[in-house]
Structures are given as structure tokens and as C-alpha cells.
Structure 1
């Protein structure tokens, strides 16, 4: 998921966060609600926001869903732009740099 940090708030690109689908996959819908439950802001057409206080919980959640094998790495890994600078230590287990285009 494309991510960036501004003023100690993590933003996940709204096109990359999971969507809730009635009658959809239980895992994907659980993933949607889990991510949404700790988000400071989670609007349909805006980037989702996570304050630094929940980054550890977010990291654990992403690792857990990644290890389940039901979701791909692209869906559970934070991809930061190279211009981001250093990735915070707490997010490093689930983060990488965006691939160069």
C-alpha cells in the first residue's frame, strides 16, 4: 500500500486500502474493519490517517494478516516514496521503498 508520513501522521493511499464488500471474503472484510478501527480518519475517497500512537498496533496487524497467507504482500506492506527519508523504526518490519518506475 502506498504510504507517506506528514507531521507524524501516516497516510495510506485511499485506492490501496481494502474495501468492504457485503458478501465478500471474510478475511478481506475483517482486514478492512481492523484497519479502519484504529484509523484516525478513514473516508472512502480520502487517504486513511494513522497517528503515531497506533503505529505499533498497525505494524502488528499488518504482520498478522501477512503471515496468514490469505493476503498478498502488496496488500500488507507499506510502500514509501524514496523522498520520504527514513522509515520510522516501528514501521520497518512491514515497510519498504516504492519500486522505481
Structure 2
């Protein structure tokens, strides 16, 4: 999931967020609600924002769903732009850099 940090707010790109689908996969819908529940701002059609205080909880959610094996790594890993020099320490275990285009 494409992510960036602006003024100590982690922002996940709306195009990479999980989608809730009525009658859809229980795992994917649970993932959607888990991420939405800890977001500071999660508009229906927009990027979701996470304050620094919940980054540890976000890391735990991402790790739990990674370890479940039901979702792909691209769906459960934060991808930062290559020019980002430092990924925040607490998020490093669930982060990578976006491939160069």
C-alpha cells in the first residue's frame, strides 16, 4: 500500500486501501474494519490517516494479517517512495520502498 508521512501523520493512498464488500471475504472485510477502526481520518473516498500514537497498533494489524496468509504482501505492507530516506522505526518491519518506475 502506497504510504507517506507528512507532519507525523502516516497517510495511506486511497487506491491501495482494502475495500469492504457486502457478502465478500470475511478476512478482507475484517482487515478493512481493523484498519478503519484505528485511523484518525478515514473518508469513504480519500486517503486514510494515522497519527503517530497508533503506529504500533497499525504495525500489529498489518503483521497479523501478513502472518494469516490470506492476503498478499502488497496488501499488507506499506510502500514508501524511493526518495524517502527514513522509514519510521516502528513501521520498518511492515514497510518497503516502492519499485522505481
- The TM-score, its normalising length taken from structure 1, stands at 0.98
Structure 2 gap segments, 5+ residues each: none
User: Aligned ranges for residues 18-97 of structure 1 at < 5 Å?
Assistant: 18-97=18-97
Supply the distance in 2 between the matched residues of 1:40 and 1:30 (Cα, whole angstroms). 18
Moved over 2 A (4+): none
Matched length? 101
Supply the distance in 2 between the matched residues of 1:96 and 1:15 (Cα, whole angstroms). 17
- 3-state DSSP class of the match of 2:58? helix
Supply the distance in 2 between the matched residues of 1:36 and 1:80 (Cα, whole angstroms). 20
Supply the distance in 2 between the matched residues of 1:43 and 1:85 (Cα, whole angstroms). 28
Give the C-alpha shift of residue 44 in structure 1. 2.0
Q: Deviation string for 1:27-64 (max 9, x for gaps)?
A: 00000000000000111221100000000000011000
Supply the distance in 2 between the matched residues of 1:39 and 1:74 (Cα, whole angstroms). 19
Is contact 2:41-2:49 (8 Å) kept? Answer: yes
Is contact 2:82-2:99 (8 Å) kept? Answer: no
Supply the distance in 1 between the matched residues of 2:43 and 2:84 (Cα, whole angstroms). 23
Supply the distance in 1 between the matched residues of 2:73 and 2:62 (Cα, whole angstroms). 10
